[in-house]
Every structure is written in structure tokens, then in C-alpha cells.
Structure 1
């Protein structure tokens, strides 16, 4: 309904009829309500022009347009929404004059100079407002004569103590009444399986048709159109409107609507919504006691499964499982993601999206993907939008433009500010091994700290130390074992990567792990890059079939060591490593990294290293033991 053009007579008549039908089975009605039900009219007789003129003379103000138009149809109203039982007409409306005694406290809070202007504008409301509520559940309805729009309408502010919030603002009396009609629909008897006649009328049928159109539009990729329809239907409390809108909001970045999960009998309860609730619970740091879904007294049939879901989400082992072609694609995408190839994982999911099928009328997207610890990082903001815009669920429409890959080509991105910390602009130190002819899960056998070294489950970068060394109390420069994240580095190559090594590069004691990594055949390349107290260090060493082929280290623009036959593309002076400044040396490191990438066709995945989860292991030490007379540092904690 257009608020600017309310047909008051038809609007109020329809509201009255809907109210009467909804209360047709209610036995305990007051005499006035029983009369309203019989007469199918919640209002009073129309106010005459003389009535309105007398009111305005008594109050000393001309009433705003939509309130005057309302009065010409009904001089007052009953059951305005769910909490105002009688609304004032020409005789009952009066200046509030802070009769509730709330003005001082509210004005002090609203008047704080740090508040935005719209908050400070409320100062004095309780003293100046026209009170329209006559009977209510401790709910005040106030017309504000100092909050006037260009159309002459006064804003309406509604406050109830039990809502624990500032008054809710409506731009006009007409907007307030439309919202109260919607509130009546949300709380009307006969909804949601309550006893009595079903709550069905022209308004519900119209809004349910909007929900149906919205769902079809969403499945065809027109999520903005769907969201507009659902936002209106949600105001009337129509089935599925809230949860469908919540799914769109979680994917388009506007934030979820806090909808409750469906009933446990619904197939989406365990596979779609409950895992997301677990993610929210843990992300908010709330205790497991808040997870009432695992209480068998409340959810006897699904409590055990709910407890298992929470535990799996906590441990990072939860897996989104589906049947059919899309379920197969999810499994394949997870395999790609766990070895770092997040772009390939998304390409698999994107190709399979048209085959995805919803689990009922309240479902428009595979939301469980957002709870899968391996696949959730794959679904970047751009890809979530692409998912929303992709036709699915049996609907057809043109496919959207691809969101594009997230992992940059080459290796020079490692030198960019914020490369490994997207939320910062600082540089990150790192060391890595690129191994030819070995799969990622074979690297522990080549480089593990001990025989039988195993890969961890996929973990986030910031959880690597906690997983491998939860009780570490001693750090030694003598024992420099790296905690390496592994994955695929291109056709026929794997990588092992550590961000921010605990020890700095020591040219004298460093032992390249490249020979050990290449012992199984093929080549291995080690890169160590750090900026310690403003001094840049770049090390590169390469081995083949277990034999070191070449190595060099540049520190602060000076070639500190070199051996073997360095390829022409990697000769330090030619790359500009002799630059006297840090920026020049960083540019040389970038050229060296891209040269390695071109020579060997290798890369490492930025998205997986910064936001995803990868398998990890503890490597052999990258430093030799101290020799006679040499010292090393040991730091103990606790």
C-alpha cells in the first residue's frame, strides 16, 4: 500500500473484517469487542469537521494531514496492532506534558553531544508530544509536532518500557497505522496452527502470493527483486518470508535476520540451518550450555545429532553433505580446497549450482556451505553474490558473469603490503619449499621432523601452533623446526609454507631442506624472505635428485653467500638486489619470485593461506646443530 495515498475507508474496513474473522472463535471478549466483531468494525463514527475544528482549537494546533483524514472516517480506533487497545479520536487526544515522568532521564540520554542529530532531536519529546494511546499494554503513541515532514506530516513515536529501546519512529500517522495493521497480522489468532479458524483473507493471500513470486525470482537469480517482496511479506509475518530473506541476507552481505531454525521435522533443520547456528554460537564466544538444540528434553529426536554438529563445527571437522549431482560436486570441491586450490573448488561448485535442488518451500540456496570449514572460505563475498545470481532449483535464466579467480598468478604477491594479512598493511616474513613430483601428502615423509610424521587435519593459519605445540614452554634457535602448511603449487608441484618463522635467517647455520625434499626425484626450491628490523633478507636455494644445485642469500642489498650455477634469470645483481633502499630490495624480491614462477610454473594460493584451512606438519630443523664454541638462545615461558 502506498502510504502517501491511503484509502482510509477501504483500508479500515478490510482491517476490521480481518480482525472480526480472526476473533470469530474467541469466547472471552469485552462487550465493546463483541460489538465490534458483530458489526465488523473496529472504529467509531466519522468525526465531523466541527469535531476536528473543536479538537484543533482545544489543542492549539492544526492536526497533520493523514490523522485528519483518518478522523473523517473513524473518530478513534480499537486494537491498533497487538499492544494498543484503544486509539484516541478528537475527544481523547491530549498533550502528554511529560505526565509519565520520563522526560528528564530520556532527555539526558538523548542530549549527549556525541549522539547523532536524529537522536538529539528527540529531546523534549515527552513534554511536547500529542498522546494518542488511550488504553494499551504500557505502550505510548506520541505525535511529535516538531518532527514534521515536507508534506506536513508529524512523525509518530511509539515506546513501550518492556521493549528496552528508544521510541520507534514512523514518518506519519498513516505509516504508523499501516505498520499496526501488519503487527495485527503477525499476532492474529489462528496463525501457526493455533486452535480456531485458519487466518486466511485477502491480505494473507496477496502476501503469500508475493512470497511465492519472490522464491521463484530468487531461484532465477533475481535476489534483489525477491528481497523487496519478502521484506514486505515479512512485516505481515507470512510463512517462509523471514527465513527466505535471511538466506538472501547471509549471502549478499547485508547480514542475517536472526531467524530461528525450522522445526526438527524439517529436512533443513540438521543440514542447513543448525550448522550455521553452531557457527554463530562459537563465533560469538557463547558457552555450550546455550546450545539448547542438544537438550533431549526439548528435541528428543535430534538432540544427539545437534550435539555432534556443534562438536564438529568446534573442531573444524564438520562436512556439508548432500546427495545427487550437487552433493558430488561439493565433495570434489572440498578435495580441491583442502589442498589450497580454492579457485578450482569454486569452479566446481559454480558449474554444479544449476543442478542444486531446494529442500522445501523455505529454501533457496545451499546455506550449509557457509558452515563447512573448508568450503566457507571459498565462498568469498563476490562468489556468494554470484551464487545468488545463478539460476538453480529447476529454474532457468541467463547465468551471471563469473566473479573471477581470487588467487593471483606468480609469486610476487607475497611481497605486497598485507599479502598474508589482508586486514593489515604490514609485511609478513615467510619461508617455503616448492617440491616437484611429490603430492602434498607425501611431503611429511620427505621433510617430517621424525619418522612417521603425519599431516594434521585442515587448520586455519592462526591455529597451526596451537595444534602442533599446545603446551610449548621452550623456544630454541638451535632447533628450528618449521610448522608447514601444504598444498598444490601448480601442475606437478606441491608447496610447504610457514608464515612468520619463529627464528630469523642465520646464514652460518642454515641448512637448506631442498636436497631432502628432492630426494624422491624431481626438483625442490626453498625461498626464505624476511624483513628484520628494516633489513631485508632473501634466500633462494634449489636442489634436484637430492643434490643442491645452487643457492644465494642477499642481506640488506649485499650478496652474503652464493654457490652453484644460478640461472641467468635469478642472478641477484640482475634482479636489482643491490638496491640501497628497502623498497628497491622488495622490488628485487618480487622480480625473483616471479622469475621462479615463470621458470617452473609454480604458485601458492593466497586465499587458502590467509582465510582457508590447510593440512600441516612439523618439518625437520632448518638449522644445523651448534658447533664447538658456538652458542644459541633458548627462551622458556611460564
Structure 2
């Protein structure tokens, strides 16, 4: 908080006046008064005496807030407060607004019994506020005698109908004037025909501050850099917004990011255009008409490049591929991410930061990877801060403390609710000593079966629905996510997020077929199943033959073969009913027995390759029948399958 009594109003107002006078074009000004102010290099009026201030307070019936009083003693009024207030009131012109504008009724129309107190107080401002604007571009400036801080300062509110926003609050008259000085600078910084270059002590100080912030950011002091850039941005200094947006993007503040002119600069476009396009695609709903506005200043060549990038972002084929040693590390990280090891991918990307080289002097961090469908999900706010805290781009500094891995060990996390609470049953296959690319040959029964492109769970579910009419309706073919079951564990996995109902009399475990020359494990769990029944199945096979299987379903346990004691379901059942923690204990036992784990972040929120398996249910036998029911919802038929023989 600024000490209003210690603030040097005269120095501040003289500086502002000189900057205004030096920045005017020859033909600029609103009349003779402006020309006189330019010659005098003074936007104010003579100071008001204490007697004059006291007389105004007597007329208004209130003592003025401290910072406005101090201002009046230096200048009894002001011209050109920002860009839209042409004359600001002094002692003679300050007056109670008393809803002279009729705006109180308009603001009150939006209020009801559910409105917050602050909303009611804001609407009442138009009846009680002290009006300070005398001439303006329909901009109101009101001090609120009921919004007072501990120092007696009244908040100042500014509003114009053409802003299409709520009134803007300034903590005091002093803060209002400082904000208007920033607004004046931000407008003067824009190119104007015939105007001199806008350079003064303030711009030189802020431009040096921007350069210092760039170096600080590369050393890892992103917080200090962010504050310095934010101040410079408020004054409209070039570079400040584009540099600050790079920090904001890594902090997850994507809605405020545009990179200013950097995104359309051919030097920086390879790294800044993809995340900018990805954010546009997220909000555009395939309406591309505003893309040119989104990329203000882009020429035709850049727009062609932007549309090509947009197409790749939308169809999930965009691939972040920088050059050099850092690019080689990115490729390794991408390979880890596509098989589910997102923690390993992040570590690889993070550890390679010293190898990263900026594309130019206004480049603070690698950003193109955020638009990559495999690498983008690695980002969290914590990891964004970690990246920003790491020295890079040839700068020295202390390495930040690494963020914790996001994937828990083992399998027990499956017993916890999924994001949104949607996962109530699941099944997975583990195959030992094989790569994920080999799983189609072990889980699918069609020659030449290959992995599908990486997808999210919702996309995989849509694909499964789209294939519903491709196979006999009694079959239970799963579209399963595929990856590695833990770094160094030696297992690959296939995971089904949302299987249908478990029917033990028709179930066929894929473990035996998947285990040729190795071991395979199948788990199907629904101890929180939405179909109303609890069940658990485990089968283990080696070299093409099932070794043992245990199934709990319909209140009964069935065992084939001799499971190890650690996997005996009776350990987790109480009177043939699962104990509340049975699912977690069963999963912990499986993880310990086989040393496997599943990647939570990739399964719940990432993108993984998929495979469509052979059916998990057998074909009808002689004498068995099945019924297919189609339910029409709107225009789209929706198939529903009944079990064979029912």
C-alpha cells in the first residue's frame, strides 16, 4: 500500500504532463486549452488552498479522502486522465452523482433476492457516488463514500457503456490516477501517424525492466520476471505481453494467452503457433472464421501455416519435433508417453531442458509440446512451475526440486473412483516379456491385427460403439488401451475402461491365447459394479495353457487349478461376500505376486494405442439362442445385446 501522504504528487504530475506534451503529434489536441497545456507542459490547474478544499467539503457535506485532498493541493483538477476522461473535477466541479445518469435503475434490473451484497452495493453507487468526470468519452468516474479502507481512502469506480463490462474498481484516488497514467502510456505506445516516437524516462526504465525480466525468467526466477513483465505490460511496453504470456501458458492460464506479435513472427511460430492454435481449436467448435482475428497481424503465408496446424491439431496428428539434442530427448519422451509412462516422459523432457535453445531473444521456454496429443497431457500446474524454475537457454541457476511422480505404484489405485466417478468395473490383461506392439497378435483373432492410433478413453468408447455391428451381437469384443505395465517391470498391458456385464457361464479368458511362450494374467473386477452384482476374476496362463483361475460371482467362488495362497479369494471374502476393502486387497495381492503396475494418468486422462480383442464370451452352443433388441433414441438406433440362451 502506498503512503498517500508521502507520495510526491507534484513530481508525478509534472512527469505525466511532460510525457503527454512530448508524445503529441503536431496536429493533435482538443483545442486551445490543450495547446496551452502543451506549451506549459502542465495538464493540471493551479493548486487549491486548504480553505478552498475545506469549502468544497462543506458544500458536499463530507471530508474528502486523503489522496484526493493531497492531489487537489497540487492541482485543482486535471486534463486527460487516461484515454477517455478529458477533464477531471477539482474543488468546484466535484458533485454527488445522485443518479443523474439514470443508470441506477439499469443496474438494479439485474438484481434479485439471490444477488450478493457486493452487487447491490455496486448498483447503489449511482445514487451515492461522488462524480469526478467533467468531460469524457461517456466514461463515468465515481468515488464511493461507502467503500472506504482503514486509511480513509474511498474506492474509485470507472464505467462506460461501450466497455460492456462491470465498473472497474480502483482502491483509491491515487491508484485511479496511477492506473490512468498506465492507460495513457499503453495508448501512446501504439503506432500513430505523425506522432513522435514515444520515448521517455518511464519507457526506458520499463524496457530495461523487460530485458532484465527475460534474463531472470531464463535463470528460473519466473515469479519475479512475471511481476516485472506484468507491470511493463500495463504500460503497453512491447515484448512484455509476449514474454509474460509464455509464463502464463505454463501456469495453465491459457485463456489470457495470445503471445502478442510473437506468434506470427516466423522465428517463433514453430514453437508458439501450435499451442495458440490448440487453444483456438478448444474454443472454436470448428468455426474457423475468427482464426485471422485470433492471429492478429498474420500474413497470408502465416494463415496458411495456421490452418495446416489447426487441421493436425484437430485430427491429433500434430507432432512436436524440435531439432538438435533437445529434439532427440523430446522424441524419447514421446515414446515413453505413448506407452503410458508419463512420469518417465516428464523426467526425460525436464532433464533435457539444459539442451534447449531459444528460437530468438523473446523465447523463454519450449512450448510447442503442449499441443502434442501425447506430450500435452504431461503438463500440470506443478510441472509448469518446475519447468519455469529450471535454468535454461544458456543461463545458470539452481535446479528446482523435482515434482513428485503422478502415477502410484502397483494396481490398488483402481479401487479408487476415477475422475468423475465413472469407473465401476474394469478388466485388464498383463503379458510378460513382450512389447505392447505384440499384443494384437496375442489378443485379436484376425490376421494382421495392428494397434490403433493413441486415443482417449472417450474416443476409444466411441470407436467401440462404431464397431458394434461389425461382429456377431453376442460377442464381447473389447477396445482396450495398450501400454507398458511399469518401467522395468517387463510386462505389457491391455486395459478396458468400461466393460459390459460379467457372465461367468459364457466368459472365456484370453489368458491362455495371450501366453504363448510367456505368462499372461487376466483380471476382471466389478466389486462396485453398476449392474448390481459384485464379481472378481483372475486367471493366469503360461505357454498357452491356463495354470489356474479363480472367480467370485453370484455369491460363490470357483477355482480351477491351484492358485497361490496370496491370491486365494477366501482371504478377502467374509461369508461369501466381499469385505469393503476387498478390491484394494485383491489388487495389491496381484501387483505383489507379479510385480506389475498400471499407469493411472495415462489410463484416466492420457492417450494410448488401442487393440480390439477377440470375444470375451463364447459362441452359442447347439440348442442355445440369443435375443437382440434395438432401442431407437431419436433417429439413431442403439443396439442392446442379451446373453446367449436368455
TM superposition shift of 1:517: 0.9
The equivalent residue for 2:32 is 31
The equivalent residue for 1:428 is 424
Of 581, 591, 600, 1:597 maps to: 591
Equivalent residue runs for 1:132-147 within 5 Å: 132-147=132-147
The equivalent residue for 1:513 is 510
For structure 1, which segment, 145-154 or 82-91, has the greater mean C-alpha deviation from structure 2 after superposition?
A: 145-154
The equivalent residue for 2:376 is 376
Of 593, 614, 617, 1:620 maps to: 614
The equivalent residue for 2:229 is 230
The equivalent residue for 1:89 is 90
The equivalent residue for 2:641 is none
Structure 1: which 5+ runs fail to align?
A: none
Instruction: Tell me the distance in 2 between the aligned counterparts of 1:282 and 1:547.
Output: 50
Contact 1:333 1:348 in 2 (8 A): yes
Instruction: Tell me the distance in 2 between the aligned counterparts of 1:128 and 1:47.
Output: 25
Q: Determine helix, strand or coil for the equivalent of 1:12.
A: helix
The equivalent residue for 1:444 is 440
For structure 1, which segment, 59-68 or 337-346, has the greater mean C-alpha deviation from structure 2 after superposition?
A: 59-68
TM superposition shift of 1:60: 2.5
Residue 564 (structure 1) aligned with residue 542 (structure 2): no
Of 513, 531, 543, 1:545 maps to: 543
Residue 178 (structure 1) aligned with residue 178 (structure 2): yes
Q: 1:339 to 1:479 in 2, by over 3 A?
A: same
Of 603, 606, 609, 1:609 maps to: 603
Contact 2:268 2:359 in 1 (8 A): no
Q: In the TM superposition, what whole-angstrom CA distance separates every residue of 1:147-180 from its partner, at most 9, and x where no partner exists?
A: 2222112211111010112211112111100000
The equivalent residue for 1:103 is 104
Instruction: Tell me the distance in 1 between the aligned counterparts of 2:297 and 2:152.
Output: 56
Equivalent residue runs for 1:80-229 within 5 Å: 80-109=81-110, 111-188=111-188, 191-192=190-191, 196-229=195-228
Instruction: Tell me the distance in 1 between the aligned counterparts of 2:601 and 2:84.
Output: 51
Q: 1:397 to 1:517 in 2, by over 3 A?
A: same
TM superposition shift of 1:493: 1.5
Q: In the TM superposition, what whole-angstrom CA distance separates every residue of 1:564-602 from its partner, at most 9, and x where no partner exists?
A: 2322322222x32345544x1x53333332233223221
Q: Determine helix, strand or coil for the equivalent of 2:122.
A: coil
Instruction: Tell me the distance in 2 between the aligned counterparts of 1:263 and 1:251.
Output: 16
Q: Determine helix, strand or coil for the equivalent of 1:303.
A: helix
Q: 1:268 to 1:599 in 2, by over 3 A?
A: farther
The equivalent residue for 2:643 is none
The equivalent residue for 1:6 is 7
Q: Determine helix, strand or coil for the equivalent of 2:17.
A: helix
Equivalent residue runs for 1:55-70 within 5 Å: 55-70=56-71
Q: In the TM superposition, what whole-angstrom CA distance separates every residue of 1:423-472 from its partner, at most 9, and x where no partner exists?
A: 33x65211111112321111112222422222111111110132354374
The equivalent residue for 1:277 is 276
Instruction: Tell me the distance in 1 between the aligned counterparts of 2:235 and 2:310.
Output: 33
Q: In the TM superposition, what whole-angstrom CA distance separates every residue of 1:398-429 from its partner, at most 9, and x where no partner exists?
A: 2111112111111122122x1xx2233x6521
Contact 1:383 1:403 in 2 (8 A): yes
TM superposition shift of 1:16: 0.5
For structure 1, which segment, 547-556 or 615-624, has the greater mean C-alpha deviation from structure 2 after superposition?
A: 547-556
For structure 1, which segment, 486-495 or 154-163, has the greater mean C-alpha deviation from structure 2 after superposition?
A: 486-495
Q: Determine helix, strand or coil for the equivalent of 1:147.
A: strand
Instruction: Tell me the distance in 2 between the aligned counterparts of 1:22 and 1:618.
Output: 69
The equivalent residue for 2:644 is none
The equivalent residue for 1:479 is 475
Q: 1:296 to 1:278 in 2, by over 3 A?
A: closer
Instruction: Tell me the distance in 1 between the aligned counterparts of 2:290 and 2:123.
Output: 42
Instruction: Tell me the distance in 2 between the aligned counterparts of 1:468 and 1:240.
Output: 48
Instruction: Tell me the distance in 2 between the aligned counterparts of 1:472 and 1:512.
Output: 21
Contact 1:262 1:273 in 2 (8 A): no
TM superposition shift of 1:26: 4.1
Q: Determine helix, strand or coil for the equivalent of 1:307.
A: helix
Q: In the TM superposition, what whole-angstrom CA distance separates every residue of 1:3-24 from its partner, at most 9, and x where no partner exists?
A: 6342100000000011111115
The equivalent residue for 2:258 is 259
Instruction: Tell me the distance in 1 between the aligned counterparts of 2:447 and 2:225.
Output: 57
Q: Determine helix, strand or coil for the equivalent of 1:423.
A: helix
Instruction: Tell me the distance in 1 between the aligned counterparts of 2:243 and 2:296.
Output: 28
Contact 1:518 1:546 in 2 (8 A): yes
Contact 2:264 2:298 in 1 (8 A): no
Q: Determine helix, strand or coil for the equivalent of 1:73.
A: coil
Q: Determine helix, strand or coil for the equivalent of 2:151.
A: coil
The equivalent residue for 1:316 is 316
Instruction: Tell me the distance in 2 between the aligned counterparts of 1:616 and 1:40.
Output: 72
Q: Determine helix, strand or coil for the equivalent of 2:485.
A: strand
Residue 306 (structure 1) aligned with residue 300 (structure 2): no
Q: Determine helix, strand or coil for the equivalent of 1:205.
A: helix
The equivalent residue for 2:392 is 392
The equivalent residue for 1:46 is 47
Instruction: Tell me the distance in 2 between the aligned counterparts of 1:193 and 1:448.
Output: 68
Instruction: Tell me the distance in 1 between the aligned counterparts of 2:29 and 2:148.
Output: 41
- Using the size of structure 1 for normalisation, the TM-score is 0.92
